[in-house]
Amino acid sequence: MIRNLVKAVITCYKFKVQASQQLMGELPSARVQPVRSYLTTGADYARPVTLRLVTIRSKTITKGYVAVFVCFVTKDVHIEVVKSLGTEAFLAALRRFIARRGKQKKIF
C-alpha cells in the first residue's frame, strides 16, 4: 500500500527515475579520430538555384546548382556555386574548395 502511495506522489516519482543508457552506433574510424578539419570530406549537389549573370550590357538568368562539401569529423559545411552539372564545373568547384580549405585525404 505504501509503495503504491509513493508512486502516486509526483515529487517522489521524479526523484526515483533512472537515467537511460545511450546506445552508441558503430562509426567509421575516419569520423571519430581527431584530425584537421576537412581531411575527410563528402561532396554532393543541392537543389538548383537561379543565377543572374551580369555583364556590361546584358543580364541573363540561368540555372545553377549548389555544391555542398561536408567535413566528416566536425560536420562543418562548405558551399560552392556551380554553373552546370558537368564534370568541368564540378572540378572547378573542387579546385576552389581545395584552395580554400587545403588538400583532402579522402573525398566521398
6, amino acid identity: V
- Residue 16 maps to a domain: no
- Residue 96 maps to a domain: yes
Distance of CA 82 to the CA centre of its chain: 18
Reply yes or no on whether the pLDDT at 83 is more than 80.
yes
- Residue 2 maps to a domain: no
Q: How many domains does the chain have?
A: 1
When comparing pLDDT for 95 and 74, which is higher?
95
What band does 12 get if pLDDT is binned at 50, 70 and 90? low
- Residue 10 maps to a domain: no
pLDDT of residue 99: 94
Cell digits of residue 62:
540561368
- Residue 63 maps to a domain: yes
**Domain limits for position 63:** 23-107
Over residues 2-13, mean pLDDT:
72
- Residue 6 maps to a domain: no
- Residue 103 maps to a domain: yes
- Residue 17 maps to a domain: no
- pTM score above 0.75: no
The dihedral region occupied by 45, where left means phi > 0, alpha psi between -120 and 50, and beta the remainder, is beta
When comparing pLDDT for 96 and 24, which is higher?
96
pLDDT digits (tens, 9 = 90+) for 38-76: 998 999 999 899 988 887 777 888 899 999 999 988 889
